[in-house]
A = this chain, B = another copy of it.
């Protein structure tokens, strides 16, 4: 663990793990998947999100930092520090009992992302970083792979969006990459790029990512020496507007990020001449 990590980040992770364990022990899958309304990010709030976020916000109160959280939105406590928070990334996994979900948090100081922590809630595996130092679950600094070519890369993707353009782009990446995974937990996907376990992760043009999905990745990428960018080069910077969207790309190297972006762009803008699922 890095020495000078803000305790709000580690406290948020501990609260999330405890809250999720309690939620799973006392609720059915249907109860945890039920919708409690629309969150600040403009998407439905699952009951599991409500339960975990509520506990975290209670526990963070004593730190007197601002909080920007997926469901609650921006809670301004007059601090220079804001914790940008996804209490349960992978809510559908968490609610169902698929043990792939994470708390992810980034600390913005005067609007600059300076620290981050992603904690895989089922195991406690934690990736964290400041601007100077990083640390993976093995206690060693984050070290991405050196993959530069998509056809040699193991790539994680968001689950396919079955609309015309983004679905076609999804398939084009799947067709080209050496290996594809769909874990349904973007912040763990990005953490695995940071660790070198996968070579890249992408939302192939569906504009699904919100700031809370990417904020920790911005810090990991800068400190760990990999690329975190948007498909359309929109800057991933601090904002309190959680309705903003990106198509995030995390990649071990700039070359790999560029090839992914080009592959996706081409698929989004050029309809295929033959059925794409059927071309070799």
A residues in contact (CB < 8 Å) with B: 29, 92, 96-100, 122-123, 125, 145, 154, 159-160, 162-164, 167-168, 170-171, 174-175, 179-184, 192, 195-198, 271-272, 274-278, 280
Q: Is the CB of A183 within 8 A of B183?
A: yes
Q: List 7 A-B contacts (CB under 8 A).
A: A99-B123, A168-B278, A181-B183, A181-B184, A272-B277, A274-B275, A276-B276
Cβ-closest chain B residue relative to A271: B278
Cβ-closest chain B residue relative to A157: B182
Q: Is the CB of A92 within 8 A of B275?
A: no
Q: List B contacts of A275 (CB < 8 A).
A: 168, 272, 274-278
Contact with A278, one of B167, B195, B197 (Cβ below 8 angstroms): B167
Given contacts A168-B277, A277-B276, contact A145 B98 (CB under 8 A): no
Q: How far is the CB of A265 from chain B (nearest CB, A)?
A: 16
Q: How far is the CB of A137 from chain B (nearest CB, A)?
A: 8
Q: How far is the CA of A168 from the CA of B277 in the complex (A)?
A: 6
Cβ-closest chain B residue relative to A96: B197
Q: Is the CB of A164 within 8 A of B278?
A: yes
Q: Is the CB of A179 within 8 A of B159?
A: yes
Q: Is the CB of B280 within 8 A of A162?
A: yes
Contact with A98, one of B123, B162, B192, B274 (Cβ below 8 angstroms): B192
Cβ-closest chain B residue relative to A95: B197
Q: How far is the CB of A172 from chain B (nearest CB, A)?
A: 9
Contact with A171, one of B92, B97, B125, B277 (Cβ below 8 angstroms): B277
Q: How far is the CB of A226 from chain B (nearest CB, A)?
A: 15
Name the residue among A181, A198, A272 with the largest chain B CB count within 10 angstroms: A181
Q: How far is the CA of A180 from the CA of B123 in the complex (A)?
A: 23
Q: Which 6 A-B pairs have the closest CB atoms?
A: A97-B197, A182-B182, A275-B275, A276-B277, A171-B277, A96-B197
Cβ-closest chain B residue relative to A166: B277
Given contacts A123-B123, A145-B29, contact A96 B198 (CB under 8 A): yes
Q: How far is the CA of A162 from the CA of B164 in the complex (A)?
A: 19
Q: How far is the CA of A171 from the CA of B170 in the complex (A)?
A: 11
6 further contact pairs, Cβ within 8 A, besides A98-B198, A99-B125, A159-B179 = A92-B154, A96-B154, A98-B197, A164-B280, A167-B278, A275-B275
